[in-house]
Each structure stands twice: as C-alpha cells, then as structure tokens.
Amino acid sequence: MSHRILLLGAPGAGKGTQSGKLADEYGIEHVTTGDALRANKDMETEYGTPRSFMEAGELVPDPVVNEIVEAALADADGFVLDGYPRNPDQAEFLSEITDLDAVILLDVADEVLVDRLTGRRVCDDCGANYHVDFQPPEREGVCDECGGELIQRDDDTEETARERLEVFYENTEPVIEHFRETGDLVEIDGEAPPDEVFSRIRDVIED
C-alpha cells in the first residue's frame, strides 16, 4: 500500500528527522521543499533567486515551490511531505494535485523550537541532523553517519529563527486550522524523545 503523508509543524519541530525515518520505514519519497530550495538557492526565477527569501526567513514565492512539489509528487508512488504547504494557497494547490492518507502535526512549544534551531547542526554531505547539546555527534563537527562536515544553516541564527516562527504563525497556522476543521489532523507531542514520536506517527499511519 502506498502512503501519502503530510507532516506539519513549526521550524524545528522535527519534521525533517521524522520524515527521514518514515521514508526509510515505508520506502516512500521524502519530499522537502526546504532541501530542494537549499540545493537551488541561486536558481534564477522571475521573482529573483530563493536565497534572498531564505536568508531573511521569508517564504519563497508560491509558484516556485508549487512547481517543485508538483514535479516531485508526479514521480512518487508514496511520499512524506515536509515543509509544504506553508500557506493556504499552497494547501489549495496541493489538494488539486493529490489526496492525502494522513495529516500529522508535531506540536512543540516556542522556546523549545528556538533552542532546537539555534543549536542545530546539519551534515553538509548527507543532511543528517544533530544538536550541540541534545544530540551531539561522537566527534565535534563530524557526521556520525558519513564523516561529512557539520555546518550551521544560515537561517538557524536566533534572529532568523524567530522570524521564521513569526512567518509560521502568520502563514502556516491557518493551514493547520483548516486540517483541524476537516477532522483530518492528528496531533502528536513533538517534545517526546524522537523514537517515541516516530512510534506514535507509525501508529497513526497504520491505524
């Protein structure tokens, strides 16, 4: 059975970590607009490059991300969507191109999010996530998985992290509210340990 899963949550809620595990567990595509845009930061579009929006913590214009998602979903049998949709217009576009089997919100308090984002380190090669205090690598600055270099994302500074949370509450909360009203939203405590969060997500999907 194919799975079409939408994982919602603020920046730092754990969407990337959990999506990676889901993709492995079910053999589905991890479709993440954030990674796709980071890999194409200097791509010329009629709105300019993604870089300026991303470094300011703002949303990249809808047509750019909609196109990325449409192409990714066309190639995918099952998928877990991470970081999209981020506003009601993107949600509308998504509903026109696919149906979803599960919509899951990872719920995490604001102050926890800021701590997670500012302490986050990401492998430059394989994308694995770490945290300087909560989940340090065995050797500082080196990825446990592949030996790659761990870097801090440009937008994980405190100022930009707070801006991204503002953008989330203004633009993405209404998307969450929409799925709450349709009765599709399942909320999970995203502050639980990652393995526990994963096992709860799996329960939702297999229910």
Q: Which residues bind ligand AMP (CB under 6 A)?
A: 11, 33-34, 37, 53-54, 57-60, 65, 83-84, 86, 90, 155, 164
Residue whose beta carbon is closest to ligand AMP: 34
Is beta strand 79-82 parallel, antiparallel or unpaired with respect to 4-8? parallel
Check if 200 is active-site.
Answer: no
Q: Least distance to ligand AMP from the beta carbon of 33, Å?
A: 3
Check if 51 is active-site.
Answer: no
DSSP-derived 3-state class of residue 3: coil
Which amino acid would we find at residue 42? D
Q: Least distance to ligand AMP from the beta carbon of 138, Å?
A: 25
Residue 150's DSSP bridge partners are 123
CB closer to ligand AMP out of 52 and 199? 52
Catalytic residue of the set 86, 116, 121, 200: 86
Q: Give every strand in the sheet of 185-189, ordered side by side.
A: 29-32, 79-82, 4-8, 102-107, 185-189
Q: Least distance to ligand AMP from the beta carbon of 206, Å?
A: 26
Specify the DSSP class assigned to residue 155.
G
CB closer to ligand AMP out of 57 and 190? 57
Q: Least distance to ligand AMP from the beta carbon of 129, Å?
A: 11
Check if 86 is active-site.
Answer: yes
CB closer to ligand AMP out of 164 and 200? 164
Catalytic residue of the set 4, 21, 120, 121: 120
Judged by phi (left if over 0) then psi (alpha if -120 to 50, else beta), residue 95 lies in: alpha
CB closer to ligand AMP out of 3 and 172? 172
Judged by phi (left if over 0) then psi (alpha if -120 to 50, else beta), residue 141 lies in: left
Catalytic residue of the set 15, 21, 116, 121: 15
Q: Are 41 and 54 in contact, with CB atoms under 8 Å apart?
A: yes
Q: Least distance to ligand AMP from the beta carbon of 161, Å?
A: 10
CB closer to ligand AMP out of 29 and 58? 58
Q: Which two tokens stand for residue 26?
A: 């079910």
Check if 153 is active-site.
Answer: yes
Q: Are 29 and 117 in contact, with CB atoms under 8 Å apart?
A: no
CA distance linking residue 176 with residue 183, whole number of Å: 11
* Catalytic annotation, residues: 15, 86, 120, 153, 164
